[in-house]
Structures are given as C-alpha cells and as structure tokens.
Amino acid sequence: MLKKVAVLVLPEASPFEFGVVCEVFGIDRSDRGTGVPAFDFTVCTERPGTIGTKTGFSINVPRGLDAAEDTDLVVVAPYQDSGPLPQAVKQALRRAHARGAWVLSVCSGAFALAEAGLLDGRRATTHWRYSRRLAEEYPLVEVDENVLYVQDGRIITSAGTAAGIDACLHLVRTELGASVAAAIARDMVVPPHRDGGQAQYIDRPVSLAGCNTLKDLLVWLGENLGQDVSVAELAARVHMSERTFARRFRAETGATPAAWLNSQRVLRAQELLEESDLAVEEIARVCGFGQAVLLRHHFTKVLGISPAAYRRTFRGVRPMNLPQHTGT
C-alpha cells in the first residue's frame, strides 16, 4: 500500500515538476470522503539546507537521504545534470528499488535512475529534448520518446512537465484505485487518466490539456459516453464543417474522435469494473460500446487483459502489480 512518499531534490531543481509531486502526494485530502489517504510526505536531499532551482530562487530542504530509507515511493524531481550523480544518491535509489519500493522520475530525473543502473534493460522515457542523449549515454536503456510515461516493474519514468501528473496519478490508480486517483485529479482540475491504463508502456495519449475551442465538447462527450454520435453531429455542435472539425480535433487532442472516445470508454469501463457489480454486458452498454464483444476487444487492445480478468484483479484490495504487455 502506498503510504509513505519521499521526493529527492537535487541542485538546480525544476520548480514546476517538483511542485507537481508535492501537489499529488503532499496535500492532505483525507477529508474529501473518497478514501484518499493523507500521505506521509517528505522532501529530502543529499546535503540538507538551501537548494537552488532552475528559475533563480531557492528552497530549504531540511531532511537528508535517510528520510527515504523506509518509504513506499521515492520520486526524483528534474535537476540540472551537470556532473556525476553523488554516490550517496545512487545508493539510496538502489536500496529503495532493492527493498521493493516504487521509484519514479519526472522529466530529466530519469538520468539519475539511469546513472544508478536502475534502467538497464528496461523501457523508459524522459522529456523529448533529452531522449536522444539518454539513449546515447545509457545504451542499455530502451528509450521511448513517444509516450507520456512508462511503467516497467516498479519503476516509472515520465516525460516533461505535466506528464509527471500522469505518472503520479497512474501510480495512485495502480496502488489505491480509480476513485482515489479521480478525487486527486478533480482537486487538481486535471484529467484523472490519459490513455494507456496499466500496460507496460503507454501509447501517445489524449487529454483535455491544450484543448481550447473543443474543451466544452470534450467535457460533454466524457459525460455522455453511452451516446452513439457521429462526426457530423459533433461538428454541428461546435458549428464547424466535418473537415475543419476533424482537423481541429486531432490538433487539440492528438487523436481522431473515434480514438478519443474509445480511450475514454475504456477508462469508464475500468472504473465500473472496479467499483460496481454491473455485468460486462451492461458496462459495455453504459460506456457506449454497445456489445460486450466490442468492449472486450477494445479493453484487451488497450490494457492487454480482458474485462473479467481485470475485475478479478482489481476488485477489493488492489494488488501491487497488474499483468502487463511485454511490448511485443
């Protein structure tokens, strides 16, 4: 169970990504009535004291690396990679992984995991600006620059900036369930989940981030997944031609309307499989797939597991790991 979290801060830390981790795990939301726990959250560094950031101001970090010794999760925030990683930091990361804790990096934090040897033979990602350098400097790492985040075993790496939110919420969902992740996301006013689910690697996702003219439509679609709507009907709702709508939809979401709807329907099916007693046939209808066979097809294609197997795995006390794709 995910309870105790430590964020490891290194010199020239990136404030936004560091703040993302603090926002997800550092705020007590236990009064929301949704089962969200109050995480035991701490920030630590190799040499406690004042740590500079990339944007010119400093933060005070009073705890040393010993604060990460018994945590369930160690997060490495982005930092300025200007020299060898301190041996003490590498050892702390290795110990965390060896004892079975989750280890998560945001953006360039992946370089710390790679230097510690934790990514050897694994799939990983980082900000696209750094992906080529990560692959060149650490040839044993299989770098995928076309994803928001990657889970390989109990190691999660994420791309830049807001992708850290996706990675953190993915871990919350894996450990604590869809309702907890949704409650945190709702409080942060971000999508609770972007396409990819529990698979080992997540195909390029879609979201509301970056949406402007179509945001209201996407919210409406998310609330009416059971409706069978055509592209023509959707275009009419936003007063566009079908061609303009299709172009605008892909520009703002990175996906076609059909792909976006399928991803949201699969997500809704996950939630219903976890939290309700509805039959698979009824879930297929409610989510907009119509027939159970279509739900099974799309669900297995995205997550690599059937709806029935997913329900057996995630009902009640959630396990630590979900069967994952091999990537082949």
Q: Give the least confident one: 18-27, 198-207, 273-282, 305-314.
A: 198-207
Distance of CA 214 to the CA centre of its chain: 23
Q: What is the pTM of this model?
A: 0.64
Span 88-106, average pLDDT: 98
Q: Which one is predicted more confidently, 194 or 39?
A: 39
Mean pLDDT lowest among 87-101, 168-182, 197-211, 245-259:
197-211
Residue 289 lies in a domain: yes
Mean pLDDT along residues 127-146:
90
* Helical H segments across 189-287, by residue range: 215-223, 231-237, 242-253, 257-275, 280-287
Residues 211 and 184 reside in one and the same domain: no
The answer to whether residues 36 and 119 belong to one domain is: yes
> Is the pLDDT reported for residue 328 higher than 80?
no
Number of domains within the chain? 2
Same domain (yes/no): 160, 71: yes
How many angstroms separate the Cα of 171 from the Cα of each of 16, 24, 100, 249, 280? 19, 11, 14, 29, 25
The answer on pLDDT for 127 being more than 70 is yes
195 assigned to some structural domain: no
State residue 160's pLDDT score.
81
**In this predicted structure, what is the pLDDT of residue 317?**
37
CATH of the domain at 248: 1.10.10.60
Is residue 127 in some structural domain? yes
Q: How confident is the model at residue 203 (pLDDT cuts 50, 70, 90)?
A: very low
pLDDT of amino acid 145: 80
* Residues 47 and 85 placed together within one structural domain of the fold: yes
Distance of alpha carbon 224 from the chain centroid? 24
Residue 320 has pLDDT above 50, yes or no: no
User: Does residue 255 share a domain with residue 158?
Assistant: no
Residues 234 and 117 in one domain: no
**Coil, strand or helix at 158:** strand
Last residue of a domain, one of 188, 223, 251: 188
Same domain, residue pair 155 and 249 = no
Domain carrying residue 94: 4-188
The pair of three-digit structure tokens given for residue 307, joined into one six-digit string? 């709806």
Name the pLDDT band for 201 (thresholds 50, 70, 90). very low
Same domain, 39 and 165: yes
pLDDT surpasses 80 at 193: no
pLDDT at 186 over 70: yes
Predicted confidence (pLDDT) per residue in 148-179, tens digit: 899 999 999 998 878 899 999 999 989 998 88
Write out the DSSP string of 59-76. EEE-B-GGGGTT-SEEEE
CB 255 within 8 A of CB 263: yes
Using alpha carbons, list the distances in angstroms from residue 36 to 8, 140, 170, 179.
23, 38, 15, 8
Looking at the predicted structure, is the pLDDT value of residue 40 above 50? yes
Among 157, 188, 219, the domain-final residue is: 188
Name the more confident of 45 and 316. 45
Statement: residue 98 has pLDDT above 60: yes
